[in-house]
Chain A
Amino acid sequence: DQQVKQNSPSLSVQEGRISILNCDYTNSMFDYFLWYKKYPAEGPTFLISISSIKDKNEDGRFTVFLNKSAKHLSLHIVPSQPGDSAVYFCAARAYTGNQFYFGTGTSLTVIP
């Protein structure tokens, strides 16, 4: 059973606008969340993370929001650029172990 879900397989956004990618999780023992970006023919690369003790973390154009009560996190990209076009995975770690659980990914296309 998928413990981390990304319900939107794809998203298209105009350049300069905001991209919002969503992720839901089911395990209340998750204490750390990460977003990765993946270009075709490359491995995922780390983008931004957030601990469960926070509800927001910013890094330049990227902001991650965490709503623990809803078991939901989102990644905001502002402004979106064509180079942001990639597949985005959210991932979560349970404090009980070393395993990371990944979502199914959302393919973002930023239209120039």
Chain B
Amino acid sequence: DVKVTQSSRYLVKRTGEKVFLECVQDMDHENMFWYRQDPGLGLRLIYFSYDVKMKEKGDIPEGYSVSREKKERFSLILESASTNQTSMYLCASRTLGGSYEQYFGPGTRLTVT
């Protein structure tokens, strides 16, 4: 059974803190993605990685960075958290070839105060 896990379901951080969100997939997928979901805006892509150490910016990369040192793990880093980064963060993965479906983790609800 495919599985994408995220390190925390809920997280509360203070403005200016450095925040790490971790995502792990056990499907040996090449591609991994970080999205944020906000009311009325749907899912917006922050960054994706098409392989280890490879990354590409999505639509809203400002204020974020990512790291992918191992195939199964993709980390999202908020360098200096701000209140406008309060959101639901979703990680996803997919394999190359075949169907384009992505497998999502349960999400991390981040609140920055």
A103: B residues at CB distance < 8 A? 42
Q: How far is the CA of A101 from the CA of B33 in the complex (A)?
A: 12
0 or 1 for each of B20-44: is its CB under 8 Å from A? (1 = yes) = 0000000000010101000011111
B4: A residues at CB distance < 8 A? 43
Q: How far is the CA of A46 from the CA of B41 in the complex (A)?
A: 19
Chain B interface secondary structure, helix, strand, loop or mixed? strand
- Interface residues on chain B, number (Cβ under 8 Å): 26
Q: How far is the CA of A41 from the CA of B112 in the complex (A)?
A: 19
0 or 1 for each of A87-112: is its CB under 8 Å from B? (1 = yes) = 00101010000111111110000000
Asked if A62 lies at the interface with its beta carbon under 8 angstroms from chain B, I say: no
Q: Using a CB–CB distance below 8 Å, which chain B residues touch chain A?
A: 4, 9, 31, 33, 35, 40-45, 48, 50, 56, 58, 90, 92, 99-107
Contact present for A43 and B92 (CB under 8 Å): yes
Contact present for B105 and A98 (CB under 8 Å): no
Choose one: B48, B100, B103, B104; the contact of A49 (CB below 8 Å). Answer: B100
A contact residues, range: 20 to 34
B100: A residues at CB distance < 8 A? 32, 34, 49, 93, 100
- Not counting A98-B56, A100-B33, a sample of 17 additional A-B residue pairs whose C-beta atoms are within 8 angstroms of each other reads A4-B42, A6-B42, A36-B104, A41-B107, A43-B4, A43-B92, A44-B43, A46-B102, A49-B100, A49-B101, A100-B102, A102-B42, A102-B43, A102-B44, A103-B42, A104-B41, A104-B42
Decide: A98 near B42, CB < 8 A? Known: A46-B101, A49-B101, A93-B100: no
B42: A residues at CB distance < 8 A? 2, 4, 6, 89, 102-105
B35: A residues at CB distance < 8 A? 102
Contact present for B40 and A100 (CB under 8 Å): no
Contact present for A41 and B104 (CB under 8 Å): no
A-B contact pairs, 8 of them (CB 8 A): A2-B42, A32-B100, A34-B101, A41-B106, A42-B107, A102-B43, A103-B42, A104-B41
